[in-house]
Amino acid sequence: MNAVGVGRIAGLSGLVKDFGKISLKVVPPFLLGFLLVGGAFYWFISSKPESKIDKEFFNREYSELAIISESLDRLRLDVKITGESLAYIKVHNKGVPENLWTAKQLSERNRLETRYWRLRSEYHELALEYNRRHEAVNYRFAYYKTLPEGAKEILPKYYVRLEG
């Protein structure tokens, strides 16, 4: 390397050192100011009381989600009972070929199977709707602290798929 190349590198080295000195003087106050302004903004936004519209919206949303939750609980129980009835028919006729079943037994089994899968489908569709809507309000109704006025019980955070 010639003398000019070494001089350029030495010049860059000095520039980097100077930039380091300047950045240590400028960046921390800038960063501190940014954090203070951001913190003040967050405090202002989070301390804002809910408006009347927000309260009405959350009360209505809580009521609707509570109704959906009750429906999901009933559907889960219906699926369980129907599945048990279907299992009873299959166990009761275990070892008997289907062509020897009576027409009544076959129609009952087919009716129960159709009902079982329809109820499961309804449950999964309703659970998807519940989960989507509860997520949209940031799971607000799963905790006592964030329940709307007049609400006495928390709602499940989400519903999972049925097994089986």
State the DSSP string of the chain.
--HHHHHHHHHHHHHHHHHHHHHHHHHHHHHHHHHHHHHHHHHHHHTSPPPHHHHHHHHHHHHHHHHHHHHHHHHHHHHHHHHHHHHHHHHHTTTS-GGGS-HHHHHHHHHHHHHHHHHHHHHHHHHHHHHHHHHHTTTGGGSGGGPPTT--S---S--PPPP-
Q: For the segment 12-38, what is each residue's pLDDT rounded down to a tens digit?
A: 555 555 655 655 565 566 666 666 777
Spans of all domains in the chain: 1-48, 52-146
Report residue 150's pLDDT band, with 50, 70 and 90 as the boundaries. Answer: confident
Q: In the structure encoding, which two tokens stand for residue 20, read together?
A: 């380091």
Question: Would the pTM count as exceeding 0.85?
Answer: no
Q: Which pLDDT score, from 0 to 100, does residue 49 have? A: 59
Q: How far apart are CA 114 and CA 5, in angstroms?
A: 84
pLDDT at 44 over 80: no
Q: Which pLDDT score, from 0 to 100, does residue 126 have? A: 97
Q: Mean pLDDT of all residues in the chain? A: 82
- Give the CA distances from residue 98 to residues 2, 82, 113, in Å, rounded to whole numbers and listed in that order: 97, 20, 15
